[in-house]
């Protein structure tokens, strides 16, 4: 009887630890937590400080849930959220994310598409903090920490990069002004950039910095539409008029050729560095062979 029970337990553990099972469990939990985070922002939309505090607390819960899953279910060290190097990688991500968006806007300014009309009060920069924290933490835990990492462990880095990028991009169709073009652009430009950052470092800090900083700079400073979703005004009051291939239309700058070129080029550079450092993981069957 004990042997039967032991065999049954072994089978159950094997099922739970199978990549697809772990992806469904962890991905499902994180996706629900992302939705809750969005609802928190809506609930406290008129009180930015409360929104920031609530989202920050919920983000802490997200880290705890992710870490608990890794420790209990996967039974391994939490290397992708290791603290050594966190400050440096997060700082690089924040700086490059803001720089990439600013560079894209400068192209629009030089093209006469983006015209600065004036400045809003500094307080206009506050509401976007909660949005940036939520996207940077939950979307990176979900799409890079769960989807990319687990698929990479199973099918290798290249398939993981494609799968995580496509899932990440097309989830944005759920946004109010989501478009197929915008989803495709995000899949390539942002999916490549964020996935390459994870492949390069083996950790999530740089991709979290990229993601949070791009979203914050887009909304809080340049008053841009964030991925067909957030449309709140930021510090700069501007008029944006031009063809959709330059402005991104109702979806925002991510759906423009400018952002596509800037972000994809940066992502390719990071990917080449990752490859040269030998950070490409082969499929499980090749590793076992």
pLDDT digits (tens, 9 = 90+) for 18-67: 889 999 999 999 999 999 999 999 999 899 999 999 999 999 999 999 99
Is residue 43 in some structural domain? no
Is residue 196 in some structural domain? yes
Q: Tell me: the pLDDT tens digits for 125-171?
A: 999 999 999 999 999 999 999 999 999 999 999 999 999 999 999 99
Q: What is the largest CA-CA distance in the chain?
A: 78
Q: Which domain holds residue 279?
A: 84-288
Is residue 15 in some structural domain? no
- State the helix-helix crossing angle for 86-110 and 257-276, rounded to 10 degrees: 150
The domain total for the chain is 1
Is residue 217 in some structural domain? yes
Rounded distance between C-alpha atoms, residue 245 and residue 11, angstroms = 53
3-state secondary structure 122-156: HHHHCCHHHHHHHHHHHHHHHHHHHHHHHHHHHHC
Q: Which residue has the tokens 């406290």?
A: 44
- Write down the pLDDT at residue 51: 95
């Amino acid at each position: 009887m004990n042997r039967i029970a032991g065999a049954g337990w072994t089978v159950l553990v094997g099922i739970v630890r199978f990549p697809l099972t772990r992806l469904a469990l962890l991905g499902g939990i994180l996706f629900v937590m992302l939705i809750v985070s969005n609802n928190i922002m809506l609930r406290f939309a008129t009180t930015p400080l409360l929104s920031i505090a609530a989202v920050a607390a919920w983000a802490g819960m997200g880290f705890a849930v992710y870490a608990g899953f890794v420790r209990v279910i996967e039974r391994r060290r939490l290397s992708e959220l290791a603290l050594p190097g966190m400050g440096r990688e997060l700082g690089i991500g924040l700086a490059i994310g803001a720089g990439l968006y600013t560079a894209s806007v400068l192209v629009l300014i030089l093209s006469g598409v983006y015209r600065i009309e004036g400045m809003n009060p500094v307080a206009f920069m506050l509401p976007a903090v909660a949005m940036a924290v939520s996207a940077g933490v939950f979307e990176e835990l979900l799409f890079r920490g769960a989807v990319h990492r687990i698929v990479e462990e199973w099918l290798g880095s290249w398939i993981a990069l494609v799968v995580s990028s496509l899932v990440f991009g097309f989830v944005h169709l759920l946004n109010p002004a989501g478009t197929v073009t915008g989803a495709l652009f995000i899949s390539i430009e942002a999916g490549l950039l964020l996935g390459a950052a994870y492949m390069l470092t083996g950790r999530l800090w740089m991709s979290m910095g990229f993601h949070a900083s791009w979203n914050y700079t887009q909304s809080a400073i340049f008053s841009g539409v964030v991925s067909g979703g957030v449309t709140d005004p930021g510090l700069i009051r501007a008029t944006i008029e031009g063809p959709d291939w330059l402005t991104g239309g109702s979806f925002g700058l991510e759906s423009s050729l400018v952002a596509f070129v800037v972000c994809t080029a940066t992502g390719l550079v990071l990917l080449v560095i990752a490859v040269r450092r030998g950070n490409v993981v082969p499929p499980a069957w090749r590793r076992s062979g």
